[in-house]
Amino acid sequence: MGPLMSTQVAQIVEVSDTAKRRQIIEGARQIFMRDGFDGASMNEITKAAGVSKGTVYAYFPSKEALFEALIREDRRIQAEQICRFSADDEDVAAVLREIAHNIVAAVTRPGHMAHLRTVIAASAKFPSIGHAFYEAGPMYGAGRLATYLDRQVKVGRLSIDDTQRAAFQFIDLCLARPLKQMLFCVIDTPDPAEMEKAIESAIAMFMAAYGPKNA
């Protein structure tokens, strides 16, 4: 077999391997969402994924490892969606507004609260699951926002000593009340008008605290 043929075979194997892994994760997502972490069984996951138990264990050594992989993938995708903004945009308030709306859309999407409660319940027993959620979601998103804030500080549009802290502060300003209300089943979804007020208030507070000192 020539070098070119070997490369093509390797690429086919890699694609097949990635597809199989995704197949398992999608099956696991169905069961974890339906039964929660403790209630989910590897037998049910293999049925939902349409693969053998041996195949599942070839990719993931345990239910915890599979759930952690699912969390990391979901949080990464969500964080990337939240952070879809131009790093060169000079209108800081507009960028913050876009991020805030993306955050609200992500948090209020169907199934998010159920998934979050499952993560919280599992994290006490398996801290690595909580770490995975935090690192791939909130930490990643705040890091992307902090990078944008760093650039705005450098050109004088903002005055911030700790952009990482400021990024988390802005996210918390946008979500604190509605997230808690949804998490504890006080409301199903936030009122759109109230969320708009909360977002605009968060932007105003952020700019008042971190706007340029000579403004």
Residue type present at position 7: T
The whole-model pTM stands at 0.75
Answer yes or no: is pLDDT of 81 > 80: no
Using the predicted structure, report yes or no on whether residue 8 has a pLDDT greater than 70: no
Note the pLDDT tens digit of each residue in 10-28.
Answer: 343 344 578 889 999 999 9
Q: Would 1-61 and 67-215 be classified into the same CATH topology?
A: no
Least confident interval from 30-44, 102-116, 193-207: 102-116
Enter the CATH code of domain 1-61: 1.10.10.60
Contact 171, 103 (CB under 8 A): yes
Domain boundaries along the sequence of the chain: 1-61, 67-215
Confidence of residue 176 (pLDDT cuts 50, 70, 90): confident
172-178 CB contacts, 8 Å cutoff, 24+ apart:
173/198, 173/201, 173/202, 173/205, 173/206, 174/100, 174/103, 174/104, 174/198, 174/199, 174/202, 175/103, 175/104, 175/107, 178/104, 178/107, 178/108
pLDDT of 87 higher than 80: no
Residue count (the chain)? 215
Superfamily (CATH) of domain 67-215 = Tetracycline Repressor, domain 2 (1.10.357.10)
Mean pLDDT of the chain, nearest integer: 85
> In this predicted structure, what is the pLDDT of residue 140?
86
